Amino acid sequence: MTGPESEGLPLRRAVCPGSFDPITNGHLDIIGRASKLYDVVHVAVMINQSKHGLFTVEERIELIREVTREYGNVEVESHHGLLVDFCKQRDIPAIVKGLRAVSDFDYELQMAQMNNGLSGVETLFVPTNPTYSFLSSSLVKEVATGVCDGAHLVPPVVVEALRERLKKH
């Protein structure tokens, strides 16, 4: 065994939170980059009971597991409640988020400051790959209801899942 664990050092952990309904290439880009920087990357699928998703939380988790398997250090779980509690329970000191545009910034800054004030957990912002700066799960769902299946926006298994869910053949 090599790496921090074999040397008795604690594993460096980070979390990528979101609703992932469904996971897009933009999410995947951020998770993949985080997986190169940390020993373990936790993906937290945040449960929002007031929002009815296109995919169930279990389906979202399954899709994320499938498309992140090759990274080898990504763990996917759901979480209901505060993200800082998820972090505390797993000894995670850092939240990694993608910043798409200035429009993301105000809200993300407030959340980062609130989370840090609540628990000391840090938020690290990764600039979005410009190819995906316009991309969101909601846009993907809209596009997928039309003639385009969004194959350039999401991984192939997600295209299939969208086709199945929206019954397009």
Residues that bind ligand ADP in the complex, under the rule CB under 6 A:
18-20, 24, 26-27, 30, 97-98, 100, 128, 132, 135-138
How far apart, in Å, do the first and last CA atoms of the chain sit? 47
CB distance 158 to 61 below 8 Å? no
Cβ nearer to ligand ADP, comparing 105 with 168: 105
Instruction: Take residue 33 and report the two structure tokens written for it.
Output: 């980059």
- Closest distance to ligand ADP from the beta carbon of 163 (Å): 19
- Cis peptide preceding 22, ω within 30 of 0: yes
**The one-letter amino acid at 102:** V
- Which one of 27, 42, 60, 141 is the catalytic residue? 27
- Closest distance to ligand ADP from the beta carbon of 3 (Å): 27
Catalytic residue status for 52: no
Catalytic residue status for 100: yes
Catalytic residue status for 27: yes
Cβ nearer to ligand ADP, comparing 8 with 130: 130
- How far is Cα 126 from Cα 111, in angstroms, rounded to an integer? 15
Q: Where are the beta strands (DSSP E) in 7-163?
A: 13-18, 40-46, 74-79, 94-99, 122-127
- How far is Cα 62 from Cα 22, in angstroms, rounded to an integer? 10
- Which residue in 167, 137, 142, 140 sits closest to 151, CA to CA? 140
Cβ nearer to ligand ADP, comparing 9 with 148: 148
Catalytic residue status for 152: no
Cβ nearer to ligand ADP, comparing 42 with 97: 97
- Closest distance to ligand ADP from the beta carbon of 19 (Å): 4
- Which one of 51, 52, 167, 169 is the catalytic residue? 51
Q: Tell me the catalytic residues.
A: 27, 51, 100, 137
